[in-house]
Amino acid sequence: MLARLKPTPRFPFGYGRVEDLAGVVIVLTILFSAVVAGYESVDRLIHPRQVGYLWAVAAASIIGFIGNEAVAVFRIKVGREIGSAALIADGHHARVDGWTSLSVLAGATGVWLGFPLADPLVGLGITLAILRIIWESGRAVFTRMLDGVEPQVIDEIRHAAQHVPGIREVTELRPRWIGHRLHAEVNVTVSSALSVADGHAIAKELNHQLLHHIKYLAGATVHVDPEGESGEGHHRIPAHAHDGLPIHSH
């Protein structure tokens, strides 16, 4: 709910980071599940136990697996459609619950076949599978929290800029995820002979192209530089001087 609130003067980019924090909580919850599953599996391996009511256990396991897997498929599908790493992680969490149910079924089947160690061994296998999910989900969630983006996002922005007449070069790109929406800062170079109005028109057209061609993009800030003065180096202020203007104090 917080992620849907409108931006405020204090939070000008909105509350999308709440979604990223939710993703971290989900990953930690999955990690806790892996620790518990691993501990119980090792404990049952050292201290074997009898499993009673095998048919009831098997039936409950099948129902649990089907229900959790259906939820997992739905959440992962929607998460990929809207670009939400947190929702995808939540889908993996449901899948972990489903796999846990499946491990109970496999263990009960092994016990029924006369192999009591099947239960803890399957549990250890599921624990390893959960750890892999933690790695994949955690990498996606923490990459976004650290303002990382997929390489194809950079390529798509450059491709869009190449099709805007008047742009000579893209000097800097800074896209980042906030929740499941992208925000981008783009610096481009144009001819120094253009007027301010012409430069503004080029920036406006690039913004238009980006919003139409970059999936999940919520907004872009386009900065236009004339040739010969493009790039970040020309925007840094040397100590007590402004691009050739008289020395001054800050």
* CATH class of the region 151-234: alpha beta
Note the residue count of the chain.
250
For strands 181-190 and 217-226, give the pairing: parallel
CA distance 76 to 214: 21
Q: Residue 46 and residue 237: Cα distance in Å, rounded?
A: 67
Q: What is the maximal distance between C-alpha atoms in the chain?
A: 90
Structure confidence by residue, pLDDT tens digits, 15-63? 788 888 888 999 999 899 889 888 888 988 888 777 666 788 788 888 8
Listed in order, the ranges of the chain carrying CATH 3.30.70.1350 are: 151-234
2-145: CATH class: mainly alpha
Cα distance between residue 218 and residue 178, in whole Å: 10
Query: Which residue in this structure is represented by tokens 């079924």?
Result: 105
In this predicted model, what pLDDT tens digit does every residue of 79-105 receive, in sequence order? 888 888 888 999 999 998 888 888 888
Residue range(s) occupied by CATH 1.20.1510.10 in the chain: 2-145
